[in-house]
């Protein structure tokens, strides 16, 4: 039986591909390919009936974003998803700082569901959608 939705803990952080992508330019294809993704455990992907590269919608209390699901290549981390730092990750991160200045980048709950009919927005499209501005 394929599940409709996965309740998971999200972690955002760096990957080497995201690092290379951001240095090549935030508008580059490399940045888009490396940052608009969500790494998931293989077991969770099977539960949701997802193939590598399928579109998923990640939703938190703070927002929602569509990214590509990728199988996490090392070890197991069921119930946890990882989105590299960037605009797509920040669409779901919260601005609560617990009086310490540090927002919610890691360790809060999100829902992940397959989104075959939705597209992953590019940097410019996402800027326009979230902030109504852009180049």
Partner 1 sequence: MTTELKSIVCPICGCLCDDLEVTVEDNKIVKMKNGCAVCEAKMVHGYNSEERILKPMIRKDGTLVPVSMDEAVHKAAQILADAKYPLLFGWSSSTSEAQRVGVELAEELGSALDNCCSVCHGPSVMATQEIGIPTCTLGQIRHRADLIVYWACNPWASHPRHVERYTNFSEGRFEKSEWKEYIQKIKATSGKKKLAAAARQSHFMKYQPPPRPQTCVVDAPPQTIQKMGRKMIVFDVRKTMTAEAADYFVQVEPNKDYEIIQALRCLVNDQELDVDKVGGVPVEYLKEVADALVNCEFGVIFFGLGLTASAGRFRNIEIAIALTRDLNKKTKFVISPMRGHFNVTGANVVFAWQTGYPYALDFSQGYPQYNPGENTAIDVLRRGDNDATLVISADPGAHFPKAAVQNMMKHPLITINPDWNAISRLGDVVFPTQWCGIEYEGTAYRMDHVPIVLRKVVEPPQGVLNDEELLTRILAEVRKIKAEKAAAAPPKTKCAAKVEAN
β 55-59/64-71 pair status:
antiparallel
* Binding flag, residue 120, partner 1 (CB under 8 A): no
> Which residues, 6+ apart, have CB-to-CB distance to 26 below 8 Å?
123
Beta strands in the chain (DSSP E): 6-13, 37-40, 55-59, 64-71, 80-84, 106-114
| Binding-site string for partner 1 from residue 33 to residue 62, where x marks contact by CB under 8 A and - marks none | ---------xx------------------x
Nearer to partner 1, 54 or 62 (CB): 62
Q: Does 122 bind partner 1 (CB under 8 A)?
A: no
| Residue ranges in contact with partner 1 by CB under 8 A | 9, 11, 13-16, 18-28, 42-43, 62-63, 72, 74-78, 80, 82, 85-87, 90-91, 93-95, 97-107, 123-124, 127, 130-135
């Amino acid at each position: 039986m394929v599940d409709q939705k996965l309740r998971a803990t999200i972690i955002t952080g760096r990957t080497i591909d995201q690092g290379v992508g951001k240095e090549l330019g935030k508008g580059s294809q490399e940045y888009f390919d490396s940052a608009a993704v969500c790494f998931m455990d293989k077991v969770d992907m099977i539960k949701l009936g997802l193939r590598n590269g399928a579109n998923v919608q990640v939703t938190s209390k703070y927002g929602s974003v569509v990214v590509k699901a990728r199988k996490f290549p090392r070890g197991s981390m069921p119930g946890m998803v990882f989105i590299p730092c960037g605009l797509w990750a920040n669409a779901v991160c919260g601005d609560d700082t617990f009086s310490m200045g540090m927002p919610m980048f890691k360790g809060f709950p999100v829902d992940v569901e397959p989104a075959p009919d939705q597209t992953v927005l590019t940097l410019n499209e996402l800027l326009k959608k979230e902030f109504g501005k852009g180049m």
